[in-house]
Structure 1
Amino acid sequence: MLENLTEKDLKKLNSKKGIKQFLTSDNISITKVLRNLNYESRLKSLQEELIKLQHWVTVNNEKVVVIFEGRDAAGKGGAIRRTTEHLNPREFKVVALPKPTDEEKGQWYFQRYINQLPREGKIVFFDRSWYNRAIVEPVNEFCTQEEYKTFMSQVNQFERMITESGIRLIKFYFSISKDEQTKRFEDIKSSPLKKWKFSPVDQKALELWDDYTDYKKKMFKKTNTKIAPWIVINANKKTKARVEAIEHILDVMPYNPKDETVIEHIEVEEKQVD
């Protein structure tokens, strides 16, 4: 292994960060340390571009919405945290709405999401969005079939209206395998710091896997449009998924100055629009 290392690799391994990983982690390999260091370096470069993007949004009074959808434990929250880590907190917000109140249940479904849309110069990241009604709610019977059908008949027009009003909309779907979801749930349940995240909905997620899949397919078929396509991220590897999501945001946003050499855009799956 050592004879295959480049001078650059050796420099990374002998850095403070590299040495710290060897000292603080049990049974860690050279390969894993290099992978971690390369990820951290790549992430830092992309985060620097995100700062430039945010400045462009602010100066030009742009309005940006980024939606993160996916199964439970798909890594949506972690991706949002890495995306926003170094941004000016006054110029963006993360929206993760709780279940609707009785008052909100009596409103038009989209109303509480409209209240969260960005003003000029702001970015909003949705950790789950109005697409709760496309998958989570019908699978768990939190809405009626009539409410589901109404949503599906209105959502494309809703997105057309908000994009025509000047909002730039990106829709991510973080896709993981059933085995990976099982593994992540076990990790969450065994962690004193994370087990609070494991909800009754999570508990049922594995046994309802096929139902989630059926509704996901219906969602893609109906709501994957030219004005608001779905971007599918393979999220079985968290670090790779985070990098790809940030790369895509930077790739599609026409901010300037943009360093194209940093945005080595990795191809993600954009669902084909019929």
Structure 2
Amino acid sequence: MKDDKDDGELGEAREGAGVEARLSRKQYEKELARLHVELVKLQEWAVHMGAKICVVFEGRDGAGKGGTIKAITERVSPRVFRVIALPAPTEREKTQMYVQRYLPHLPAAGEITLFDRSWYNRAGVERVMGFCTDQQAREFLKGVPLVEQAIIHSGVILLKYWLEVGMDEQTRRLEQRLHDERKIWKLSPMDLRSYSRWYDYSRARDDMFEATDTDSAPWYVVRSDEKRRARLNLISHLLKSIPYTAVPRDKVKLPKRQKPESYRESERLLRYVPERF
């Protein structure tokens, strides 16, 4: 992406209000709208060039992965921006090579795949919660850089983001889910079990970074205690990390509608939805 794409008003606000100042909703929505325009340009470029882009989102429960992915995909095509959030492995998948079930979801030409958690489950939740042995986790950490190198050599642009949420903020967000009927589904029994194991997750994260933060596929850490700022920072970084350019568009004009000829509206009573609002 060209360097002349500036950071908009967000950079000015950070200078005037300080990095920790909370973004207002108005400022956030204005900056997000600007980034949405760029994401549409990225989408058109990916389709035009046949680019293959894979973005991995990792982090603790409540770190903001889902909200960030939603902010990215809000104004783009789900046929291009494909969100992958795999359930627990089946009995058959448990017998496969670990990364095997993720490989079919890697992007083809003209696709951007967003992994809401990924093969790094083995380095995190599976290791901490005892779903794999320490030996299996070590073997995974040793082998995954080779797998990612093969993915990149196949022509995929691979970006890996870790959303880092603080202990107090994670507690606040998980407690909020307990008392909000719209969010209670986000709090699984596994989330509750893993909540108490903060430092086990910290050790697992550190080991993961040590083994898989490579020159060809580095980790990028996003501070996510302030959701709005985290989303804007991540999207901005994503855009700057991909060498896209605006694709020329043909001017579009709506054609004239056909004449009704002999058509008349049917008098049949249709089942309209009641207008309650």
Q: Give the TM interval when normalised to the shorter protein.
A: 0.7 to 0.9
CA positional deviation for 1:194: 0.7
Residue 71 of structure 2 is aligned to residue 82 of structure 1: yes
- For residues 81-230 of structure 1, the aligned pairs below 5 Å read 81-230=70-219
Runs of 4+ in structure 1 over 2 Å off: none
CA–CA distance in 1 between the matches of 2:138 and 2:195? 25
Of residues 39, 43, 61 in structure 2, which corresponds to 1:72?
61
Structure 1 residue identity aligned to 2:70? R
- Identity of aligned pairs, percent? 44
CA–CA distance in 1 between the matches of 2:133 and 2:88? 15
CA positional deviation for 1:146: 2.2
Structure 2 residue identity aligned to 1:175? E
| Ranges in structure 2 where 5+ consecutive residues have no aligned partner | 1-20, 248-277
CA–CA distance in 1 between the matches of 2:24 and 2:187? 29
Kept after mapping to 2: 8 A contact 1:96/1:126? yes
Kept after mapping to 1: 8 A contact 2:129/2:194? no
CA–CA distance in 1 between the matches of 2:219 and 2:126? 20
**TM-score, scaled to structure 2:** 0.80
Structure 1 residue identity aligned to 2:164? S
CA positional deviation for 1:143: 1.0
Kept after mapping to 1: 8 A contact 2:57/2:115? yes
Query: Looking at both structures, which has the greater relative contact order when contacts are Cα pairs under 8 Å and sequence separation is at least 6?
Result: 2
Higher helix fraction (1 or 2): 1
Q: Which has more radius of gyration?
A: 2
SS, match of residue 43 in structure 1? helix
CA positional deviation for 1:204: 2.1
CA–CA distance in 1 between the matches of 2:198 and 2:170? 10
Superimposed CA distance per residue, residues 89-147 of structure 1 (whole angstroms, 9 cap, x where no aligned partner): 22121000011000101111111110110111100000000000011101000112222
Q: Residue 237 of structure 2 aligns with which residue?
A: 248
CA positional deviation for 1:199: 0.9
Q: Note the aligned Cα RMSD (angstroms).
A: 1.4
CA positional deviation for 1:205: 2.6
CA positional deviation for 1:253: 0.5
CA–CA distance in 1 between the matches of 2:194 and 2:224? 17
Structure 1 residue identity aligned to 2:191? D
CA–CA distance in 1 between the matches of 2:29 and 2:80? 24
CA–CA distance in 2 between the matches of 1:159 and 1:90? 24
CA–CA distance in 2 between the matches of 1:152 and 1:35? 41
**TM-score, scaled to structure 1:** 0.81
Kept after mapping to 2: 8 A contact 1:178/1:206? no
SS, match of residue 244 in structure 2? coil
SS, match of residue 126 in structure 1? strand
